[in-house]
């Protein structure tokens, strides 16, 4: 399950308006693709790359999602390290973000007890006011952002965050080094504890003054916001973050299932519980927003924020005002820590299983490979814990798994539904569970989900705006690097297709020519592991392409025709 944190950042901005596209995309794309990935992994019992033995030219999709998962691991572990730092800082009688008497505070720091709406002035929202003790603890005490002038001025890694990051990586390594034998046990804690903590926070939150106003704002639907493309794009992206589809995680874990496991039931239950949990967590978040708005006598929309500010500024500030604040802070950050580790384990397992299944040398030395992946993510994550590390993290968070993950899932849906074939895929599912998917699922896989994904990918590219962080605007070269990161994963799909075609034996002239050599064998790059065909003579290139990109019925007929053609050519050559 991807972290509640990211979903609530979006709910905070769009509130009820976000729920409409979120639920719509969940039904027409999230659940169908979740079901597809579970079935793919369970039937083929392979990781994200080798699962494409069903359609070899689409193996680049597997490498793309593995690279995306690796990118996310670079910065996601940093967010977990922040949570661990906050957790350590919470073990004190007075939380360090409650006053302005610390070494990191600026002279302009404003005591929240003396705060009122007149302090803001110029229409500044409270969520954008960076002079509160909680805001200064995050930006000056933890990130040391004030010591950086921008992404061009990163500085050295902070040793405190480096130690926290090292602890996180060590936990992940020992949770994954023996595969599902260890991760399956760890997940019992990391997946269940957040539910207990969330329930406790929810019950306490709705008893606070002003909580009703926050919940009312959460459920209010502003239909005007539905005209904004960003609402729909963010809802689509969040579906895949929330369910984990497209990162190779589902395929990796499903490959360990029993062959006859009911993955249809798992898909429905897991996706529903995940999204209902996210919806319920909104009440816990907005009850706190309502409480903060009540305390500072401002509007809820002035308190609402997005990004890390919600989790590391606003929520800690609210906790600091409660009775027994130390206890609530410890409980809250334990929840964040377990949620983060749970999500990061899934992403790293996708990378490890995906590559280990493809390269047997890595599989034979899984523990060493797991250490290499863990240590590699640690080294690259050091860029994100420098003084200007938040700029690197924002860059990766925007480009590494935005448009690129949508593109990867689009190609995955096309590869399975159109080239491998919905009918054949349905037969695979029937072999596992004894029944075929219903018409709704087959229509979504073949038409609805690909169309939806294509639309969102195009709109996300058209509506791209230069990257910013608060008042800082990223330079043009940083945006270009960001797009380079995004394209580095997307380009693997067409690159692998070209690579496969370039590896057809024989020159282009021999493959397309009319004068075949006497002893020439050209294997077709066939997409189905059920019907691999080897021609004993070359044929026209358009027939090769036709076989490489077939539909189900066309595949079978073309296969029969070309086998007959091969036999005829053999007989003709013998007679001559």
Q: Binding site: which residues?
A: 242, 274, 339, 342-343
Q: The tokens 């360990």 sit on which residue?
A: 256
Question: Under 8 Å CB-to-CB from 153, ≥6 apart: which residues?
Answer: 387, 388
At residue 150, φ and ψ (nearest 5 deg) are 155, -170
Least Cα distance to 247 among 157, 174, 348 occurs for 348
- Whose tokens are 């490890």? That residue is 352
Q: Are the C-beta atoms of residues 253 and 48 closer than 8 Å to each other?
A: no
The two tokens of residue 160 are 């405190």
Query: Which class for 81: exposed (0-12), middle (13-18), buried (19 or more C-beta within 10 A)?
Result: buried
Residue 571 exposed, middle or buried by CB count within 10 Å (0-12, 13-18, 19+): exposed
Binding residues for Na(+): 242, 274, 339, 342-343
Q: Determine contact, residues 419/546, Cβ cutoff 8 Å.
A: no
Are 453 and 29 in contact by the 8 Å Cβ rule? The answer is yes
Per-residue burial over 487-505, b = 16 or more CB atoms within 10 Å of its CB, e = otherwise? ebbbebbeebbeebbeebe
Cβ-defined contacts of 207-213 (< 8 Å, 24+)? 208/287, 208/288, 208/290, 208/291, 209/291, 209/294, 209/295, 210/290, 210/291, 210/292, 210/293, 210/294, 210/295, 211/287, 211/288, 211/290, 211/291, 212/290, 213/290, 213/293, 213/294, 213/300
């Amino acid at each position: 399950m991807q972290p509640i944190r990211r979903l609530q950042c979006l709910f905070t901005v769009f509130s009820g308006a976000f729920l409409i596209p979120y639920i719509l995309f969940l039904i027409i794309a999230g659940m169908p693709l979740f079901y597809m990935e579970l079935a793919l992994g369970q039937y083929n019992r392979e990781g994200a790359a080798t699962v494409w033995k069903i359609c070899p030219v689409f193996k680049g999709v597997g490498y793309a999602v593995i690279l995306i998962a690796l990118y996310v691991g670079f910065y996601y572990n940093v967010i977990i390290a922040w949570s661990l730092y906050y957790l350590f800082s919470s073990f004190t009688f007075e939380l360090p973000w409650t006053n302005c008497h610390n070494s990191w505070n600026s002279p302009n720091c404003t005591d929240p007890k003396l705060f009122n709406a007149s302090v803001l002035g110029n229409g500044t929202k409270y969520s954008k006011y960076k002079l509160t003790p909680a805001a200064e603890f995050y930006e000056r005490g933890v990130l040391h952002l004030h010591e950086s002038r921008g992404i061009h001025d990163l500085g050295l890694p902070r040793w405190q965050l480096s130690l926290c990051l090292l602890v996180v990586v060590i936990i992940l390594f020992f949770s994954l080094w023996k595969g599902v034998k260890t991760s399956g046990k760890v997940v019992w804690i990391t997946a269940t504890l957040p539910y207990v903590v969330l329930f406790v926070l929810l019950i306490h939150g709705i008893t606070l003054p002003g909580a009703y106003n926050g919940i009312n704002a959460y459920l209010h639907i502003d239909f005007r916001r539905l005209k904004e493309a960003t609402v729909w794009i963010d809802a689509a992206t969040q579906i895949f973050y929330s369910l984990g589809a497209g990162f190779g995680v589902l395929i990796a874990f499903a490959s360990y299932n029993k062959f006859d496991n009911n993955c249809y039931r798992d898909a429905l239950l897991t996706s529903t519980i995940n999204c209902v949990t996210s919806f319920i967590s909104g009440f816990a978040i907005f009850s706190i927003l309502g409480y903060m708005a009540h305390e500072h006598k401002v509007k809820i929309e002035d308190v609402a924020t997005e990004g890390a500010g919600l989790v590391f500024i606003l929520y800690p500030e609210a906790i600091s005002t409660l009775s027994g604040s130390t206890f609530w802070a410890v409980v809250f950050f334990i929840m964040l820590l377990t949620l983060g580790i749970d999500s990061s384990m899934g992403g790293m397992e996708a990378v490890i299983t995906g590559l280990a299944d493809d390269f047997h040398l890595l599989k034979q030395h899984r523990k060493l490979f797991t250490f290499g992946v863990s240590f590699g993510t640690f080294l690259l994550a050091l860029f994100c814990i420098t003084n200007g590390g938040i700029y690197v993290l924002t860059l990766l968070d925007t480009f590494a798994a935005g448009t690129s993950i949508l593109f990867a899932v689009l190609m995955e849906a096309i590869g399975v539904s159109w080239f491998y074939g919905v009918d054949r895929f349905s037969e695979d599912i029937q072999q596992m569970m004894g029944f075929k998917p219903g018409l709704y699922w087959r229509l979504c896989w073949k038409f609805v989900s690909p169309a939806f994904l294509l639309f969102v990918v195009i709109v996300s590219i058209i509506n791209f705006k230069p990257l910013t962080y608060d008042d800082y605007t990223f330079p043009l070269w940083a945006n270009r690097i960001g797009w380079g990161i995004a394209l580095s994963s997307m380009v693997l799909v067409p690159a692998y297709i070209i690579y496969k075609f370039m590896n057809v034996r024989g020159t282009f002239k021999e493959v397309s020519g009319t004068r075949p050599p006497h002893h020439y064998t050209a294997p077709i790059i066939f997409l189905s592991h059920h019907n691999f065909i080897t021609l004993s003579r070359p044929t026209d290139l358009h027939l090769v392409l036709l076989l490489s990109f077939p539909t189900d019925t066309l595949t079978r007929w073309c296969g029969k025709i070309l086998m007959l053609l091969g036999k005829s050519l053999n007989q003709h050559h013998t007679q001559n």
